[in-house]
A and B are shown apart, each in its own frame.
Chain A
Amino acid sequence: MSSSASGGMPLVHAVNVHKSFGSVEVLKGIDVDVHAGEVVCLLGPSGSGKTTFLRCINQLETIQGGRIWIDGELAGYREKNTKGGRRLYRLKNKEIAAQRREIGMVFQRFNLFPHMTALENVMEGPVKVQRRPKGQMREEAMGLLETVGLGDKSSAYPGQLSGGQQQRVAIARALAMQPKLMLFDEPTSALDPELVGEVLQVMRDLAAQGTTMIVVTHEMAFARDVADRVVFMDGGVVVEQGDPAEVINSPSHKRTQAFLSRLRSEHEQVAKAAADLV
């Protein structure tokens, strides 16, 4: 396999990824490919390793086995020929930071920089990391805030914004680096229900523009409408993947069926309780 970004090579090419925390193996050989322009939703019960896999892609966790290629480049290591055969050499922190620049990440808890305004949050990466000119970047950052519907909040600090607004600033901050790939880890699950829609709308727009995205989510409607493919994980392995409508409406695997029916019954219980109250 060539190491250059050829046409057929997926943007994310993860092969046999293993990750353990101490003696607990959390990822047990994950194979996932994501092609440029694709939107992939990761589904699965709590503790199945979705967050961990996303963090491995962005090298916030180091993996113990397997390989991840991002746009044809091996993440975290350089492969060199030695007398004893091909060996992996760990990259320096600086080189890993450079690889992360190609990937935008949106966290469940937003993680905006609280000491910077919304605009400064968005400008920070391009100006300090990519060393782009500040004046030009300010306009671009304002444009990004406007596309997420926050043009009027540019001088607000994160503490003065609602959760939904903070998450939209976080999306703008990640987009400002012009990443090849966007990772979302349950971007709406820390939000009050009435704020979920505004964040999902921004993500739908991104998907429509052809942004490559991997989204961990429990929002089944979003997965069904927006994803090109859903990947269902359980117990650290990929149980099944495929067309969203097929996997969600008629899952072929028992574990997927159990997970989806549990989500539905939880939902019905809440609906019944709400009906009883009325």
Chain B
Amino acid sequence: MPASTEEAGSPPSREGGGGASPTDRPGPIDAVPVRHPGRYVAVAIIAMLAAMIISSFVTNERWDFPYAFRVMNYTPVLEGLLKGTIIATLGSMAIGITLGVVIGIMRLSDNPVLRVVGFLYTWFFRGVPRLVLVILFGTGIGYLYPTFDIGPLPFSQQLAEWLGLSSDLTLFSLNVNQISSTLIWGIIAMGLSEAAYMAEIARAGIMSVDDGQREAAAAIGMGPGLGMRRVILPQAMRVIIPPTGNETIAMLKDTSLLAYLPLATELFFQTQAIGNRTLKIMPALTAATMWYLVLTTVLMIGQFYLERHFSRGYGATRAQSKSATLRSRLIGLSEGGAK
């Protein structure tokens, strides 16, 4: 009889655990974790596949990694990497994010004109493929607008002629063909396209912020602009950053489209040119692939730190619930009744 009660009241793993005697209160937990035999099998299979791939890299001469590494360090490739890939990605994402946030805000504006403009923008730039946009900007703009005039008024040249003025009322003019077909047009084309996607991301981020936040900002006397900058956007960032990281990585790879501007100082164009010239097409492609992977890795690290920065204050969960409402009201009344 005493033996059986002792058995029922004590923890099952008396020998393996902390050595607690049945009369003690339970001590620290030192449990045997659940075994996962399937994982060992999976690891073994993956290790074998990895070994096969590596052995093929080493033994199959056609991979020619030493040559691929050499291609990675060629000056034209490095120049293409810097200008056509890194600068193009940073530049077009800078345009895309800034303009995208502005258009996202426009689409949520009270002003119907701004809403429609924002919608039309998104409609156009999401609708046209990036490749088409790049070619359009690379060759089309120089053809349509050989010189680009920035004047004080629309139709200023015609107006000046009509008024019989010698000057054409143009503030300054730019010879488009001097700068067309260059990196700048590529960055603008990609940036404008990106802004359409970023606008949707920003809009979703802004809408995810509780309305009470806007009101709290207004209640301490913030105008709509200040409230957006200090209160709404920093909170929207939590939602905006992960898809923006995605977009940046996609942009990094889409810069290869700039070869069609045509732009020669671009990573993929250069490696392909080398591959075609030397007939070592695979090693050249491998070189491009490795550079893209390196840059993607850097971007992912950057994204990690950004996400950590903007998740300030979101570690703990809020403990309050609306269910307490009625109870607290009644307690208040009873306090009144007691006095």
For residues 178 through 229 of chain B, which have their beta carbon under 8 Å from a beta carbon of chain A? 210, 212-213, 215-224, 226
Q: How far is the CA of A104 from the CA of B218 in the complex (A)?
A: 10
Given contacts A157-B313, A160-B316, A124 and B220 within 8 Å (CB-CB): yes
Given contacts A159-B316, A220-B333, A101 and B221 within 8 Å (CB-CB): yes
Tell me whether A113 and B216 are in contact (CB under 8 A).
yes
Residues from chain A with a CB closer than 8 A to the CB of B322 are 190
Q: How far is the CA of A270 from the CA of B215 in the complex (A)?
A: 35
Tell me whether A116 and B313 are in contact (CB under 8 A).
yes
Tell me whether A93 and B223 are in contact (CB under 8 A).
yes
A140 within 8 A of B: no
Task: Say which residue of A125, A160, A188 sits within 8 Å of B328 (CB atoms).
Answer: A188
Number of A residues, CB within 8 Å of B: 57
B331 within 8 A of A: yes
A96-119 interface bits toward B, Cβ cutoff 8 Å, 1 = contact, 0 = none? 011011011101010111111100
Residues from chain A with a CB closer than 8 A to the CB of B219 are 58, 60, 100, 103-105, 107, 174
Residues from chain A with a CB closer than 8 A to the CB of B339 are 221, 225
B310 within 8 A of A: yes
Tell me whether B320 and A125 are in contact (CB under 8 A).
no
Tell me whether A114 and B221 are in contact (CB under 8 A).
no
B335 within 8 A of A: yes
Tell me whether A177 and B220 are in contact (CB under 8 A).
yes
Q: How far is the CA of A159 from the CA of B223 in the complex (A)?
A: 26
A219 within 8 A of B: yes
Tell me whether A100 and B315 are in contact (CB under 8 A).
no
Residues from chain A with a CB closer than 8 A to the CB of B325 are 189-190
Tell me whether B333 and A222 are in contact (CB under 8 A).
no
A-B contact count (CB 8 A): 143
Tell me whether A189 and B221 are in contact (CB under 8 A).
no
Residues from chain A with a CB closer than 8 A to the CB of B334 are 267, 271
Task: Say which residue of A115, A158, A192, A218 sits within 8 Å of B324 (CB atoms).
Answer: A192
Tell me whether B333 and A264 are in contact (CB under 8 A).
yes
Q: Which chain B residue shows the least CB distance to A106?
A: B219
Residues from chain B with a CB closer than 8 A to the CB of A221 are 332-333, 335-336, 339
Tell me whether A188 and B218 are in contact (CB under 8 A).
no
Task: Say which residue of A97, A159, A219 sits within 8 Å of B315 (CB atoms).
Answer: A159
For residues 11 through 52 of chain A, which have their beta carbon under 8 Å from a beta carbon of chain B? none
B1 within 8 A of A: no
Tell me whether A114 and B216 are in contact (CB under 8 A).
no
A191 within 8 A of B: yes
B312 within 8 A of A: yes
Residues from chain A with a CB closer than 8 A to the CB of B329 are 189, 218-219, 263
Q: How far is the CA of A157 from the CA of B320 in the complex (A)?
A: 15
Residues from chain B with a CB closer than 8 A to the CB of A162 are 319-320
Task: Say which residue of B222, B234, B328, B333 sits within 8 Å of A263 (CB atoms).
Answer: B333
B14 within 8 A of A: no
Tell me whether B216 and A267 are in contact (CB under 8 A).
no
Task: Say which residue of A117, A159, A173 sits within 8 Å of B220 (CB atoms).
Answer: A173
A128 within 8 A of B: yes
Tell me whether A128 and B330 are in contact (CB under 8 A).
no
For residues 303 through 325 of chain B, which have their beta carbon under 8 Å from a beta carbon of chain A? 310, 312-320, 322, 324-325
Tell me whether A159 and B324 are in contact (CB under 8 A).
no
Q: Closest 4 CB pairs between A and B?
A: A101-B221, A125-B220, A157-B313, A221-B336
Other A-B pairs beyond A196-B328, A270-B327, 5, CB < 8 Å: A101-B221, A109-B212, A159-B313, A162-B320, A267-B330
Which residues of B are interface residues toward A (Cβ below 8 A)? 210, 212-213, 215-224, 226, 230-231, 234-235, 310, 312-320, 322, 324-325, 327-337, 339
A-B contact pairs, 15 of them (CB 8 A): A58-B219, A93-B224, A101-B220, A112-B216, A116-B313, A128-B222, A128-B226, A157-B315, A158-B318, A162-B319, A188-B332, A189-B328, A190-B322, A221-B336, A224-B336
